[in-house]
Amino acid sequence: MEIFDSHLHLAQSSDLNWSFAKLTENMRLADVSGGLIICNQNDAWDFEQVGELVGLNRNFKLAISPDLNVSTRALGKAIKNWKRVGAVALKIHPRIQKTNLQSRQVDNLVRQAQDLNMPIVICSFNDGSWSRIGMTNMQFLKLADDFPGVKFLWAHAGGHSVLDFMFMARRVPNVFLDTSFTQSYFFKGAVLENLNYATESLKNRFMFGTDFELDSYPESVRRLSDFYLSHNLDRTAFFAGNYKFFLGINE
C-alpha cells in the first residue's frame, strides 16, 4: 500500500544534510513513499537551502510558514522566490506567528497564495494558548468561505475538537484535514475514536500525517496504519489519493 505523509518536519540540527538524511532513512524504514516537509520561520536553516534539497527528490514537497510581520511587497517577493525554489504550499501557525485568522497579515498571505495558486496549511490544534491571540474555531470556516478558490489543510484535524472541525469541513469543499499529532497526543480515549470516525465519515477529505517523530517514526507509522486499516480496508484515498489531490500531483 502506498503511503504519503502530509505533515513532516526536519529534525532541528545545525546540519541540514544530516536532518534530511535522517528523515529519508526513517521514511524508507516505514515504507512511506513521500510527503510534505513543512518549514517554520523559527527553523535553524533558510528556506532556499531546504528547497534545493527537496527539489532533488521528486517524492517530497515543501511548505513554508513565513514571518508575517513584513510588508506586503516583501512578503510577496519572498513567496515568489520560495515558489521558484520548489515550495508548493504555505503554512499558517497561529501560535508561532502570534496571530489569529482574522488578522490583516493572514488576509495578506492568503490573497497572495490565491494569486499564485498555492494551497495553505493551518495548524488547528488548540494547545490552550488560542484565547491569548483571539483564535476561535469559527475563524477557520470563515477564512475558507472568504477564499473559496484556495485549498486549505486544517492540520491536526482540530485536536480535541475533531468532530467540530469535521462538521465544519463538510460545509466547505475547499477544506482538507490531516491526522498528524492529534492521533499520537491522544493515544487513548474518545478523541482517537472520534478521529477515526471522522476519517471514515469524510473519507475524501482526510489524509494521513504524523508530524515526524524522529527515531520513533517507523514504529509510529506501522502502529497508526494498522489502527486505521483495522477499521476500514479501503484506505487508498486516506493514505495517498487525498494528499495527491490537495497538492495537485499528477500520476
pLDDT tens figures, 118-171: 999 999 999 999 999 999 999 999 999 999 999 999 999 999 999 999 999 999
Q: CB-based contacts of 21: which residues, under 8 Å, 6+ apart?
A: none
Name the nearest CA neighbour of 97 among 51, 132, 73: 132
Name the nearest CA neighbour of 155 among 117, 186, 126, 192: 126
pLDDT tens figures, 162-199: 999 999 999 999 999 999 999 888 877 899 999 999 99
Measured between alpha carbons, how far is 114 from 111 in angstroms, rounded to an integer? 5
Answer whether 168's CB lies under 8 Å from 141's CB.
yes
Average pLDDT over residues 72-81: 92
Question: What pLDDT score does 83 carry?
Answer: 92
Measured between alpha carbons, how far is 46 from 161 in angstroms, rounded to an integer? 34
Measured between alpha carbons, how far is 153 from 1 in angstroms, rounded to an integer? 23
Measured between alpha carbons, how far is 148 from 195 in angstroms, rounded to an integer? 25
Question: What pLDDT score does 215 carry?
Answer: 59
Question: What pLDDT score does 214 carry?
Answer: 58
Side-chain-facing half-sphere of 190: CA atoms under 13 Å: 4
Query: 233 or 249: which carries more pLDDT confidence?
Result: 249
Question: What pLDDT score does 13 carry?
Answer: 77
- 10 Å CB burial of residue 167 (0-12, 13-18, 19+) is middle
Measured between alpha carbons, how far is 168 from 113 in angstroms, rounded to an integer? 22
Question: Residue 12 pLDDT > 70, yes or no?
Answer: yes
Answer whether 96's CB lies under 8 Å from 130's CB.
no
For the chain, counts of helices (H) and of strands (E): 13, 8
CA dihedral 67, 71, 76, 78 (to 10 degrees): -50
Name the nearest CA neighbour of 50 among 76, 12, 95: 12
Q: Can you give the residue ranges of every domain in the chain?
A: 4-247
Average pLDDT over residues 2-18: 89
Q: Which three cell numbers stand for residue 135?
A: 483564535
Question: What pLDDT score does 116 carry?
Answer: 95
Confidence of residue 213 (pLDDT cuts 50, 70, 90): low
Answer whether 58's CB lies under 8 Å from 32's CB.
no
DSSP 241: I
Question: Residue 99 pLDDT > 60, yes or no?
Answer: yes
Helix (H, G, I), strand (E, B) or coil at 248: coil
Question: Residue 228 pLDDT > 80, yes or no?
Answer: yes
pLDDT tens figures, 27-72: 999 999 999 999 987 787 888 889 988 888 888 999 999 989 889 8
CATH 3.20.20.140 applies to domain 4-247: yes
Measured between alpha carbons, how far is 113 from 67 in angstroms, rounded to an integer? 15
